[in-house]
Structure 1
Amino acid sequence: MPAPTTPPFFFRRSDLRAQGWTDRDVGAAVADGRLLRPRPGAYLAADASTDVVDALALGGRLACVSALAHRGVFVLDASALHVHLHTRRPSAPVSTRLIRRHWSTLRRMPHPRAASVEPLDALACALRCQPPRASVASLDSALHGGHLRMDELDELFRLLPRRHRVLRRLVDARAESGPETLVRLLLRSLGAAFDVQVVIAGVGRVDFLVEGWLIIECDSRAFHSDWDAQRRDRRRDQAAAALGYATFRPIAEDITWHPDVVRSALRGLLSSRRGVAARPRGAAV
């Protein structure tokens, strides 16, 4: 059977025949679950994601935030299924989950077997469906991950209403995660001076260095959950403290869903130090 790929593709019966499958083989594989058939004439590998299966069952492709999330691009909320459809004919629901249907004209024509729209079209849709801070995070993530090129930004923003164009000056492809983008926007809102991805001698690279003394590291479960990772982080913080730096580690969950709590913590930290003439003994390099 053809191997599943990313972006997701489905197979026609002719594709399977070209791989040596007979009609009997196909029928048997569907019957025993080795192949999925979300709609007539479309087949998927058994390990295809539920989003892909449901999008095809509805007669469309993954779109908007669902298409971005499938590619590993940061989105704020991927709980609803976003599907691009060719026609406005009603499609039967595939489950009790929330379905968001889209019919916009695509700028990039997907491959005939593609189960997802192209990143440019997914972003053009997601920037309308998400709040501004999440939209900037999705843009940063897409650029950093190579799903969007810098020279495509002009084209992307031409597809959007004028009110979205203010977001472009906030984009920074150096952000390595969605929470990093969200913290950057919080720091901007507080009027703080900061640098990103700073290397400090004796400490290493940190996510943010704020006003020359405050290190911010955006922690997530994926990279900071086990004890070895926590021990390494604490030793880095200890090395930074020896140089006169303070470290703040907001967790991704709070950054994403409780930004006011993180903003209050940042405001308290910054107000406690502003006006105090104190410089770290170490120097950023």
Structure 2
Amino acid sequence: MTVRQRTARFYAVTVFSRADLVASGMTSRDIVRAVEGGRLRRLRRDRYAIEPVSAEVAEAVRIGGRLSCVSLLVEIGVFVHLRGVLHVHVRPGSSRVRPPRSKHTLLHWNTWSGDPEPLHAASLGDALMQAVRCQHPRAAVATLDSILHHGLMTGEEVARVFERLPVRFRILLTLVDSSAESGPETFMRLILRTLGIAYETQVAIDGVGRVDFLVEGWRIIECDSREFHEGWEKQVDDRRRDLAAATKGYITIRPLASDILRRDSALREAVDAVVQSLGPHFRNAARSQLLKK
């Protein structure tokens, strides 16, 4: 499924109050039979879920809240850098809030925006607001890129989310680029920005195809990740593209996603070293070609 399809499926109403079930025509006996038969699962007092229900959603509802922040974004396929903790949004004033079963659970008591939301999940706007605050800046930008790239929110809707955040976060909006197709691409773009190197994103090159980055007109950077580049056939295609690019005078480098996401300082130094060592040669070659014309 696409991310938009996953989002629509996730936000479908799958958790009900007893009043919801009765309003649908079920009797008390019907509810008991549905639970005993495995069609419904009782998560807590007055909360029933259609099976199957994920462990994350079940725990969030059992606590007395809704799945939110990066935990929700992971469920729908939005890029999140680190995801080790369960994030649950509990509305201020909620009663009978149960303690989490795991210490790796973070309760968000942020004020509710008032956006419509089902019983099992915070609204996308609320989840995004919490995710921006919970992640380090580069990861937050990658999440924002992903939200926009997949068309889950418009730029105006994202801007409204930032109106509810402290002013210090608004600089992140200036770094967002919806053309990024993956988290590693966002991280790579931010590395290039810190180096002050001229680059273009998603550039189409005749005989090669579309590349992630074209840096200073001569170097191609492709941000490979296992999710999209696994399998020998894809590797063969990538190598043929690199050869085609080389015949046109481009040098291609393919940093690993794990290095982009976890070893960015070392990668930044390596990228800068390539520019410093090879850049003068390519710039001189370009000038020579201009003089011949």
TM-score > 0.5 by shorter chain: yes
1:188 is displaced (CA, Å) by 0.4
The equivalent of 2:199 in structure 1 is: 194
CA contact (8 A) 1:214 1:246 kept: yes
The equivalent of 2:43 in structure 1 is: 38
CA contact (8 A) 1:108 1:118 kept: no
Deviations 1:222-243 (CA, angstroms, capped at 9, x unpaired): 2111111111111111111111
Higher share of residues assigned helix? 2
Q: Equivalences for 1:51-90 in 2 at 5 Å?
A: 51-86=56-91, 87=93
CA contact (8 A) 2:64 2:96 kept: no
The equivalent of 1:109 in structure 2 is: 115
CA distance in 2, matches of 1:175, 1:202: 22
The equivalent of 1:7 in structure 2 is: 11
CA distance in 2, matches of 1:265, 1:90: 54
Code of the residue aligned with 1:228 in structure 2: it is E
CA contact (8 A) 1:216 1:248 kept: yes
CA distance in 2, matches of 1:8, 1:138: 22
1:96 is displaced (CA, Å) by 2.3
Higher alpha-carbon deviation: 197-206 or 12-21: 12-21
CA distance in 1, matches of 2:240, 2:114: 48
CA distance in 1, matches of 2:104, 2:96: 15
The equivalent of 2:145 in structure 1 is: 140
CA distance in 1, matches of 2:23, 2:94: 34
TM-score (norm 1): 0.88
Deviations 1:126-176 (CA, angstroms, capped at 9, x unpaired): 111111101111111111112221112332222111211211111111111
Unaligned regions of 5+ residues in structure 1, if any? 281-285
1:177 is displaced (CA, Å) by 1.1
CA contact (8 A) 1:8 1:115 kept: no
Q: Percent identity?
A: 47
1:17 is displaced (CA, Å) by 5.5
The equivalent of 1:157 in structure 2 is: 162
Q: 1:238 to 1:98 in 2, by over 3 A?
A: same
State which of 226, 251, 254 in structure 2 corresponds to 1:249. Answer: 254
Higher alpha-carbon deviation: 271-280 or 116-125: 271-280
CA contact (8 A) 1:65 1:122 kept: yes
CA RMSD of superposed structures (Å): 2.3
CA distance in 2, matches of 1:194, 1:251: 19
CA contact (8 A) 2:16 2:119 kept: no
CA distance in 2, matches of 1:251, 1:202: 24
Deviations 1:210-263 (CA, angstroms, capped at 9, x unpaired): 111111111111211111111111111111111111111122222222212321
CA contact (8 A) 1:213 1:279 kept: no
CA contact (8 A) 1:141 1:175 kept: yes
Find the residue that maps to 2:16 and give its secondary structure: coil
Unaligned regions of 5+ residues in structure 2, if any? 1-7, 288-293
Find runs of 4+ consecutive structure 1 residues off by over 6 angstroms. Answer: none
TM-score (norm 2): 0.86
The equivalent of 1:98 in structure 2 is: 104
1:6 is displaced (CA, Å) by 1.8
